[in-house]
Chains A and B, each alone.
Chain A
Amino acid sequence: MNFTFQGKRISGILGILPVKEHSFLEDMRNFNFPESRSRKLMEVMGYDKHRLVEPGVCVSDLAVAGLQYLFDRGQLGRDDFDALILVTQSPDHFMPPTSNIIQGRLNLKHDLLCMDINQGCAGFVVGLIQAFLLLEQADVRKVVLINADVMSRKTSSKDRNSYPLIGDAAAITVIERDVVDTRIQANLKMDGTRNEALMIPAGGFRMPSTPATAVLEDAGDNNLRAKDHLRMDGSAVFNFVQVEVPPLIESLLAFSGVTMDSVDYFLCHQPNRFMLQKLADKLKVPYAKMPMNVVEHFGNSSGVTIPLVTAFNLGSRLTQERYRVCFAGFGVGLTWSSMLMPLGGLGFCEIIDYP
């Protein structure tokens, strides 16, 4: 499915990272694998450090801290936005929507559309598409998109497939109308037949959490995880990304009439360094144009990684300069989506620590 939008822009990006840093070398002690094998994997995947929340910290805590930071500095007015979209897989509660909790905690105006979207690694692009659609309405002048996840709370520390790459984080992206009638193009695909490739089996209504679902089990691969934990079929996800994402990006560029060379940066979801190197090789994109350093510094925080890779690598340059960027997100669902747009002249583009 293709999308075309006009006269919209991103006007600010703020990343929020838990201050507590964990290291792969410490994590390694929990894994049921010889140290030498884990060290080899560390080199290939780029595992090193990752940021995780303290027990009890929720998505709304990160989001509220980030919004308050912007309010305090006058970078965003409390009444300036008319929609608040939260993209998360780790809501504070099943109900109410966490976006409403954020609204309430900050005592934001009632004339505000609050919306939770259950999406993961493609959640930044999906959130942008939703924000652009809302901005077609006359009464919606500005949209706040929050991507946030605390998936470490649902990941077994004895699961070497998932735990070393997981990171917790939030990002706030402000989207508004643009006086310049620039064209933004996007595409998106979903395949629910592969929904089990990334899943938390228990905890919903299909399989409620019980003492039995909390018991750690060996899945036959020396990793210990419970049904309450994130389960990732690494081979299936890897194959999905390599098969589906290159043609997605190529098709977007063809649809937009833009060549690969004329894109300044490919700002992709950050699963691990190896997967991104293979993606860049396939697309014949120089590594310098596709930053892949988020997992090694902060971990993979699902839908937050695209704004994080943007702020971490381009940061304040985006307040002065302007680039043609291609965002690409891929993950749970399965969902894969890309977007081509100009990015620059931002009011802010930075990362802060929480708390």
Chain B
Amino acid sequence: MNVLVEILKSIRPEFDFTVSTDFLADGMLDSFDMITLVATLDKTYSISIEGVDITPEHFKNLATIARLLKKYGVEVT
């Protein structure tokens, strides 16, 4: 999860992403940050997250993002 936290912090350095269970509801990510995050994940892991997967429920917290990445064959621990 550390890599994921670092990626999130590179987008919104002012937040601690380990303490929230809903980044969007807590105002830590907006829809444009989500797009920046997807672009970064795509590049970091050489994947292409499908457009239909770029929905708020996949970006709520570290666990949901990890679950989404698993779908693309990426394990984050």
Contacts and interface: CB of A to CB of B under 8 A. Distances in A.
Interface of A: 37, 40-41, 43-45, 160-161, 221, 234-235, 238-239, 241-243, 274-275, 277-279, 281-282
Contacts of B52: 239, 242-243, 282
A58 B20 CA distance: 49
Given A37-B11, A40-B11, A221-B30, A45 B50 contact: no
Contact of A235 (B12, B39, B48, B56): B56
Contact of B51 (A37, A41, A282): A282
Contacts of A161: 32
Contacts of A234: 31-32
10 contacts: A40-B11, A41-B32, A44-B35, A235-B34, A238-B51, A241-B51, A242-B51, A277-B48, A281-B50, A282-B52
Contact of A278 (B12, B48, B55): B48
Interface residues of B, number: 17
Q: For the complex, would chain A's binding face be called helix, strand, loop or mixed by DSSP majority?
A: helix
B33 interface: yes
A282 B32 contact: no
A160 B51 contact: no
Contacts of B54: 238-239, 242, 278
Contact of B36 (A40, A279, A281): A40
A41 B48 CA distance: 18
Interface in B8-53: 11-12, 30-36, 39, 48, 50-52
A282 to B, nearest CB: 6
Q: Pick the most buried of A235, A239, A281: most chain B CB atoms within 10 A of its CB.
A: A235
Contacts of B35: 41, 44-45, 238, 274
Contacts of B31: 234-235, 238
A111 to B, nearest CB: 47
A9 B34 CA distance: 42
Given A221-B30, A235-B56, A41 B36 contact: yes
A221 B34 CA distance: 14
Contacts of A274: 35, 39
Contacts of A275: 51
A281 B48 contact: yes
Given A41-B35, A221-B30, A234-B32, A279 B51 contact: yes
A167 B56 CA distance: 28
Nearest to B30: A221
A140 B34 CA distance: 50
A281 B48 CA distance: 7
A168 B51 CA distance: 27
B46 to A, nearest CB: 13
Nearest to B50: A282
A278 B56 contact: no
5 nearest CB pairs, A to B: A242-B51, A278-B51, A44-B39, A235-B31, A281-B48
